[in-house]
Amino acid sequence: MASLHGPGLLVDTLMDPVLTSTMVAELKPATGTGGGEGRIGAVVFTHPDVDHILGNQAVSMEVPRLGDVKAQQDILAQAKTLHRMRFTVNLGYLLWQALQLIGGPRLLPSLPGWMRPRALQVFSFANYAFKLGGFNLHTIDADKLPAFAKTIQTGDEITLDIGDASPLPVKFWQMGSIHSKSDSVLLLPQSRVCYTGDLLFIGIAPVMWAGPAKSWVTALDDLLKATGEDWLFVPGHGPVTDAIGVQHVKSYFEYLHQAVSENCADLPLMQPELDETCAWRTLERMPNQLKEHFHEPERIVICAVIERVALRTGAPAKVDVKFKLQWISKMSEYELKRDYLSTRLMRSEL
Answer yes or no whether residue 12 interacts with Zn ion by CB under 5 A: no
CA-to-CA distance for 191 and 242, rounded, in angstroms? 14
- Comparing CB distances to Zn ion, the nearer of 4 and 331 is 331
Q: Which is nearer to Zn ion, 74 or 198 (by Cβ)?
A: 198
Task: Report how far residue 275's alpha carbon sits from residue 292's, in angstroms, rounded to the nearest whole number.
Answer: 25
We find the least distance from the C-beta atom of residue 342 to Zn ion, in angstroms, to be 33
Nearest distance, CB of residue 246 and Zn ion, angstroms:
17
Tell me whether residue 120 or residue 256 sits nearer to Zn ion (CB atom): 256
Indicate the residue among 38 and 206 with the shorter CB distance to Zn ion: 206
Binding to Zn ion, residues 176-205 (CB under 5 A): 198
Closest distance of CB 180 from Zn ion, Å:
8
**How far apart are alpha carbons 151 and 128 in whole angstroms?**
34
| Residue closer to Zn ion (CB basis): 281 or 299 | 299
Residue with smaller CB distance to Zn ion, 8 or 236: 236
CB of 109 to Zn ion, least distance (A): 34
Among 236, 245, 297, 316, binds Zn ion (CB under 5 A): 236
Vertex 345: Cα angle to 344 and 346 (nearest 5)? 90
Instruction: State whether the Cα torsion 207-12-19-141 is positive or negative.
Output: negative
Q: Residues 41-60 vs Zn ion: string with x where CB under 5 A?
A: --------x-x---------
Q: Least distance to Zn ion from the beta carbon of 236, Å?
A: 5
What distance in Å separates the CA atoms of residue 13 and residue 15, rounded to the nearest whole number? 7
Distance, in Å, from the CA atom of 10 to the CA atom of 3, rounded to the nearest integer, reads 15
Query: What number of chain residues touch Zn ion (CB under 5 A)?
Result: 4
Buried b (16+ CB within 10 A) or exposed e, 68-95: bebbbebbeebbeebeebbebbeebbeb
The distance of closest approach from Cβ of residue 237 to Zn ion in the complex, given in angstroms and rounded to an integer, is 6
Q: Using CA atoms, how far apart are residues 28 and 11, in angstroms rounded to an integer?
A: 15
CA atoms within 13 A on the CB side of 223: 38
**Contacts to Zn ion by CB under 5 A:** 49, 51, 198, 236
